[in-house]
Amino acid sequence: DQQVKQNSPSLSVQEGRISILNCDYTNSMFDYFLWYKKYPAEGPTFLISISSIKDKNEDGRFTVFLNKSAKHLSLHIVPSQPGDSAVYFCAAPRDYGGATNKLIFGTGTLLAVQP
């Protein structure tokens, strides 16, 4: 049961342009979402998060948008840089408000930023 889905396995953009990575979820109880970035041979690193009380959260070049009615979130990177080339995972706590905050991850999107 894949409750967090990233339907695009890969994305290629030109340096300086916008990268848009998408994520859909099925569980309407999810209340908090995170994006992680992963380089090869490294562990995932936290990028940005958003609570369901917001529809947008911005941190420098990174902005996450949340559309609760569509159960959809997206990560925008503007402008994209070659160093942004990595796998991006969206994630949500499986039992938010419950006894655990274990994260459920999507399958990831490999972003390649071309110089």
Partner 1 sequence: DSGVTQTPKHLITATGQRVTLRCSPRSGDLSVYWYQQSLDQGLQFLIQYYNGEERAKGNILERFSAQQFPDLHSELNLSSLELGDSALYFCASSYRGSGANVLTFGAGSRLTVL
Binding site for partner 1 (CB under 8 A): 31-32, 34, 36, 41-46, 49, 51, 89, 93-108
Cβ-based neighbour number of residue 91 at 10 Å: 22
Closest approach, Cβ 14 to partner 1, in A, equals 26
Closest approach, Cβ 79 to partner 1, in A, equals 25
Q: How far apart are CA 98 and CA 12, in angstroms?
A: 38
Closest approach, Cβ 106 to partner 1, in A, equals 6
**Where would I find the beta strands (DSSP E) of 2-107?**
4-5, 10-14, 19-25, 32-38, 45-51, 56-59, 62-67, 72-77, 86-93, 103-105
Q: Which is nearer to partner 1, 13 or 106 (CB)?
A: 106
Closest approach, Cβ 45 to partner 1, in A, equals 7
Q: Which is nearer to partner 1, 1 or 115 (CB)?
A: 1
Q: Which is nearer to partner 1, 27 or 79 (CB)?
A: 27
Q: Which of 34, 15, 7 is nearest to 91 (CA)?
A: 34
